[in-house]
């Protein structure tokens, strides 16, 4: 019997997760596993849930369901702390997906961030600049705390929304938070922090990016839709360490593959597969 997995979200067709997971199955010799992208419109999660049968093992979950999915499984502590899950594994007893108490919700975004940073050589830091203040920024704070960061300067369009989103998480992890306006992003100065983490879905101009990357020796842009992004290109040109959205996708994906299959793939074939898939789409 085929073991079925998928990524759900809206939109979902653009996701590189199928390329990543299928590459993992190939390297692990798992010929009876399948993975697809399924677009589920907001308000239709329960309707999709009713279509699942015993062939399903688990799901990757992206926006807008990272909080809603928690009602369908028992959350690990990190999920509860961040109110965000990106993975659900179905229980093995009875017909999948089973009742919520038989399923388990996980967040692999946080270990994915620390894994991506470690892959590019950064395992510890004390200060960071965080661009953006949404759900991904909350995961970013948790990841930053794991590598020793205790002081974060947040650049956000709304200080009020930034405090509402991030203050509780920062306090939980012992991080001193300072919020500054978006208009200051290009003038933060040189080497102001150990790390710049951008969680805002913004495509900066080349000129803006060149100014922004000066503020830290390591630049991490979590989005891959414009890979390589302006921040990644500017970081490379300036001799900064660049960590990008493909890195994050692969290392959070390795966590998902481990949860779903019990096996851990090597990262390089997955990185290569994602870059090749992007090139195919553009070519």
Q: pLDDT digits over 163-222, tens only?
A: 999 999 999 999 999 999 999 998 999 999 999 999 998 989 999 999 999 999 999 999
pLDDT for the residue 213: 97
Give, in order, the Cα–Cα distances in Å from 95 to each of 5, 87, 99, 174, 185: 15, 19, 9, 42, 51
Cα–Cα distance, 134 to 236 (Å, whole number) = 26
The pLDDT confidence band at residue 9, using thresholds 50, 70 and 90, is very high
Q: How many CA atoms lie within 13 A of 202 on its CB side?
A: 20
Cα Rg, the chain, nearest whole Å: 19
Beta strands per DSSP E along 62-208:
74-75, 87-89, 104-106, 127-131, 151-156, 176-181, 195-198
pLDDT for the residue 95: 60
Q: Which residue has the tokens 């849930």?
A: 49
Q: Six-digit token pair at 55?
A: 């062939």
Question: Superfamily assignment of 110-243 in CATH?
Answer: NAD(P)-binding Rossmann-like Domain (3.40.50.720)
Whether 110-243 and 3-107+252-282 are alike in CATH topology: the answer is yes
Give, in order, the Cα–Cα distances in Å from 253 to each of 49, 91, 108, 210: 22, 20, 8, 30
Q: Which residue has the tokens 């933060």?
A: 188
pLDDT for the residue 97: 77
The pLDDT confidence band at residue 158, using thresholds 50, 70 and 90, is very high
The CB density around residue 92, as the number of other CB atoms within 10 Å, is 10
pLDDT greater than 90 at residue 225: no
Domain extents in the chain: 3-107+252-282, 110-243
Looking at the DSSP assignment, which residues form a beta bridge with residue 151? Answer: 127, 176
SS3 category, 152 = strand
Q: Which residue has the tokens 């000129």?
A: 207
pLDDT for the residue 93: 52
The correct CATH number of 3-107+252-282 out of 3.30.300.30, 3.40.50.10860, 2.70.98.50, 1.20.120.350 is 3.40.50.10860
Q: How many CA atoms lie within 13 A of 132 on its CB side?
A: 20
pLDDT for the residue 99: 81
Cα–Cα distance, 253 to 178 (Å, whole number) = 31
């Amino acid at each position: 019997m085929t073991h079925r997995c998928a990524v759900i979200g809206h939109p979902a067709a653009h996701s590189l997760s199928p390329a990543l997971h299928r590459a993992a199955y190939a390297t692990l010799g798992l010929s009876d596993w399948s993975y697809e992208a399924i677009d589920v419109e907001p308000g239709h999660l329960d309707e999709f849930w009713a279509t699942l049968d015993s062939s399903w093992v688990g799901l990757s979950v992206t926006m807008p369901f990272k909080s809603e999915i928690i009602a369908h499984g028992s959350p690990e502590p990190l999920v509860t702390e961040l109110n965000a899950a990106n993975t659900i594994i179905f229980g093995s007893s009875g017909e999948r997906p089973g009742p919520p108490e038989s399923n388990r919700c996980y967040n692999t975004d946080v270990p994915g961030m620390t894994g991506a940073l470690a892959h590019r050589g950064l395992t510890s830091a004390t200060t960071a600049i965080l661009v953006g203040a949404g759900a991904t920024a909350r995961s970013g704070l948790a990841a930053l705390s794991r590598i020793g960061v205790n002081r974060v300067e947040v650049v956000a369009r709304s200080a009020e929304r930034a405090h509402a989103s991030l203050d509780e998480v920062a306090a939980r992890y012992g991080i001193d938070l300072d919020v500054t306006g978006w208009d200051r992003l290009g003038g933060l100065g040189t080497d102001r922090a150990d790390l710049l983490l951008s969680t805002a879905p913004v495509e900066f101009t080349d000129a803006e990016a060149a100014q922004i990357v000066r503020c830290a020796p390591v630049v991490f842009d979590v989005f891959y839709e414009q890979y390589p992004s302006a921040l990644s290109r500017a970081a490379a040109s300036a001799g900064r360490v660049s960590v990008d959205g493909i890195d994050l996708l692969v290392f959070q994906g390795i966590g998902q593959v481990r949860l779903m299959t019990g096996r851990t793939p090597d990262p390089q074939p997955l990185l290569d597969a994602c870059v090749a898939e992007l090139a195919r789409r553009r070519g």
